[in-house]
A and B are shown apart, each in its own frame.
Chain A
Amino acid sequence: MHRWVLALMAGLIATPAMAQSKEPILLRDMGSFHIGGRLIEVSGLPVKEVVFSPGGVPAKVDPNGTYQVEQMYAQYFLVQNRKGKLPLLLWHGGGLTGATYETKPDGSPGWLNYFLRHGWDTYISDAMERGRSGWTNTFKGDPVFLPLGDPWERFRVGPIGSWNEAKAKRVTYPGVQFPTEAYEQFMKQGVPRWVTTDDAIIAAYIELVDKVCPCVLLVHSQAGSFGFKVAQARPDKVKALIAVEPSTPGDKDKVAALKMPIVVIYGDNAKDHPRWGKIRQNVHDFVGLIRNAGGSVDTIDLPDIGITGNTHLMMMDKNSDQVADVIQKWLAGKGLVE
């Protein structure tokens, strides 16, 4: 009830999803860069002779020497008719890349295009180790590769036990918004993920923030903890934080740093889910600590404002524009839109 009233006051009542405009996207610039990382030294390994292309000319590859590692890729689009007061940084979740926010698996426009059309200078990055950031064999441990069926249940397309290799036998939550016919297409976005690299990932995000902020962060899933921790490290530069289904909170000892407006959003079937119920509660406990320290956090469970069926991947769900509308209205409510 409390949250429902809060939502009413903030004007966050669900509006019907509108298709994105067909008008041209006007950019004053677009580009990309790599940032962060460091040089490391490798020594004592034998020199290899390598033919790079079949029929090509052999080349010596000396595995010893200096290597560039742990950098991060970011791509930016600067809109001609800017309305967002600060750059908007979109950070993806575990086992994924910035492609999370681009065209959705069902081929319709995603949040990148939505926020560009709403006048935000937008930066999309691939976390250190993922996608165009590259990776190194000097990370500790092996990368994790997700089996085809894993996200179906873990990202709440269907309940536990609902995955089946046979498409016709897969079960979904009633009214699920994920485009289930494009599930395999979604799985093509998956990239391997290490479980030992959080510190290097955060270091690169901090470099990005130092380069392009003050800014607004929009983070998803694994990046929830990265977003909170980076905001704690750079509280003067992160002017607002939108945490979409954060999977873990930030540092409990540094909640006093989180004085910027924050909103935490979860989709449907999360509250009572055996795994997501715990994750959500864990994050809401963290939210309680931020509030006790004087911070301002809004929490939205989408079903409470009449938006139902959303999975963990709400930026790819069929009603992703409707969810983006909730975020856009929240940003406007915080005075971050001209």
Chain B
Amino acid sequence: MQRAVIAVALGLAALPALADDDIVLRGMGSFHIGGRIAEVSGKPVKEIQRMPGGPMSKLDPNGQFMVEQMYVEYFLPKNKKGKYPLLMWHGGGLTGVTYESTPDGREGWMNMFIRKGWDTYVSDAVERGRSGFASPDVWSGEPIFLNYQDPFERFRIGAGEGSWNADPSKRKLLPGDQFPFEAYDNYMKQSVPRWLSTDKAIIEGYLALVDKVCPCVLLTHSQGGAFGFLVAEQRPDKIKAIVSIEAATAGKVVNAPKLKDTPVLMIFGDYVDEHPRWAAYKKIDTEYANAIRAAGGTVDWINLPDIGIKGNSHMMMQDKNNAAIADVIQKWLVSKGLVE
């Protein structure tokens, strides 16, 4: 608004007035961080066809390769209110897209927190998305690919195993589920393959990011929850708070005391206790939270139904009421003195 007034005062009629919902950035950009140069040797030279109908050409898989780097995109609002950068880490089999527009085309948490005045960094974990992945000559193990129904049953969109049906009208939703199930197809387009053998490289990538842009606040989801706690244990001075959304496994209980000066908020959605798998994760997170508390730290725990927010799936940042949950998180960040 201020800029618009100045523009009018200067007679710059060509510059339209700012709308209330415009996003005004003092900067935006991206970078890759971390990674290492791997040497591959002793592999046979292959013959490949690079273009359809083109000639065969030699491909030597040996040599030096850049591997295990991580991609990060950032947006810096002009009207900064968050005292530290906010880093958003996604869950398994996904990328930073988790926090962008929702599958049904609404605004996601990335835009919401930029609008709330947070310098926001969204990354793709090593091996996923724009971070790229290494060849089988460098990484042992094979990636796994999620079939179309798996997250429907596993992420508490449908009512557990057997709730999926190829016919959308026959899918059994959890009552009042907030996931935009009509856009489930778009959600599944966000999936990327995932290795089970790369945690160490993923954590190295996150550590490199923290060393570059922190002190900061972490907002983590699912598999990213474990990474967030494990990284915070190694950089407790740099992580000023952690918002953990349905962490699928926590940090190491023995290291939990390192988080005694880092306020933590753990959030779980609806139907968690009824789902054997999520009840088990909740128990793991509870033990970790208790270990932090026992060391004198602060863990606030919100089961969303307890505060009247019902029907949330594991993908609550994409659920229809995602703005209400963002407000819960923002309120907690304010209460911890992290907002100007």
Q: A51-B196, A57-B277 are in contact. Are A107 and B31 (CB under 8 A)?
A: yes
Chain B interface residue number, banded = 35 or more
Q: Are B192 and A135 in contact (CB under 8 A)?
A: yes
* CB nearest to B194 among chain A residues: A52
Name, among A24, A53, A62, A165, the residue most crowded by chain B CB atoms within 10 Å (CB to CB).
A53
Q: Is A30 an interface residue (CB 8 A)?
A: yes
Q: Is A180 an interface residue (CB 8 A)?
A: no
Interface string of A102-140 (1 = CB under 8 A from B): 110001010001000000000000100001101111000
CB distance from B153 to the nearest CB of A (A): 10
Q: Are B147 and A63 in contact (CB under 8 A)?
A: yes
Interface size on A, residues (CB 8 A): 74
Q: A61-B150, A145-B61 are in contact. Are A191 and B199 (CB under 8 A)?
A: no
- Residue from the list A30, A39, A99, A195 in contact with B30, Cβ < 8 A: A99
- Residue from the list B19, B63, B194, B199 in contact with A54, Cβ < 8 A: B199
Q: Is A190 an interface residue (CB 8 A)?
A: yes
Q: Are B149 and A53 in contact (CB under 8 A)?
A: no
Neighbouring B residues of A271 by C-beta, 8 Å: none
Q: Are B101 and A68 in contact (CB under 8 A)?
A: no
CB distance from B137 to the nearest CB of A (A): 8
Neighbouring A residues of B188 by C-beta, 8 Å: 68
Q: How far is the CA of A251 from the CA of B91 in the complex (A)?
A: 42
Q: Is A335 an interface residue (CB 8 A)?
A: no
Q: Is B328 an interface residue (CB 8 A)?
A: no
* CB nearest to B35 among chain A residues: A188
CB distance from A43 to the nearest CB of B (A): 11
CB distance from A248 to the nearest CB of B (A): 7
Interface string of A17-61 (1 = CB under 8 A from B): 000000011111111111101010010000010111111110101
* CB nearest to A222 among chain B residues: B51
Interface string of B176-207 (1 = CB under 8 A from A): 00000000011011111110100100000000
Neighbouring B residues of A308 by C-beta, 8 Å: none
Q: Is A292 an interface residue (CB 8 A)?
A: no
Q: A57-B277, A63-B145, A148-B63 are in contact. Are A191 and B284 (CB under 8 A)?
A: no
Q: How far is the CA of A65 from the CA of B189 in the complex (A)?
A: 16
Q: Are B124 and A52 in contact (CB under 8 A)?
A: no
Q: A66-B166, A165-B64, A190-B66 are in contact. Are A109 and B29 (CB under 8 A)?
A: yes
Q: Are B130 and A145 in contact (CB under 8 A)?
A: no
Q: Is B135 an interface residue (CB 8 A)?
A: yes
Stretch of A73-81, A228-236, A256-264, A325-333 that contacts chain B: A73-81
Q: Are A52 and B248 in contact (CB under 8 A)?
A: yes
Q: Within residues 160 to 191 of chain A, which ones have a CB less than 8 A from any CB in chain B?
A: 165, 184-185, 187-191
* CB nearest to B276 among chain A residues: A57
Q: Are A134 and B249 in contact (CB under 8 A)?
A: no
26 of the cross-chain contacts (CB-CB < 8 Å) are: A27-B24, A27-B25, A31-B105, A32-B100, A34-B97, A48-B144, A52-B92, A52-B248, A57-B281, A61-B150, A62-B147, A63-B145, A66-B166, A71-B189, A97-B130, A99-B30, A132-B130, A134-B129, A134-B193, A137-B145, A137-B193, A189-B32, A190-B132, A191-B130, A191-B133, A195-B49
What is the interface of chain A, defined by CB distance below 8 A to chain B?
A: 24-35, 37, 39, 42, 48, 50-57, 59, 61-68, 71, 73, 75, 80-81, 97-99, 102-103, 107, 109, 113, 126, 131-132, 134-137, 141, 143-149, 165, 184-185, 187-192, 195-196, 198, 248
What is the interface of chain B, defined by CB distance below 8 A to chain A?
A: 3, 14-16, 18-19, 21-33, 35, 37, 48-52, 59-66, 69, 71, 73, 78, 92, 95-97, 100-101, 105, 107-108, 111, 124, 129-130, 132-135, 143-150, 154, 166, 185-186, 188-194, 196, 199, 223, 226, 248-249, 277, 280-281, 284
Q: 9 more A-B contacts (CB under 8 A) besides A31-B108, A99-B32, A189-B132?
A: A30-B23, A30-B111, A50-B196, A57-B277, A68-B191, A102-B30, A102-B73, A113-B28, A195-B48
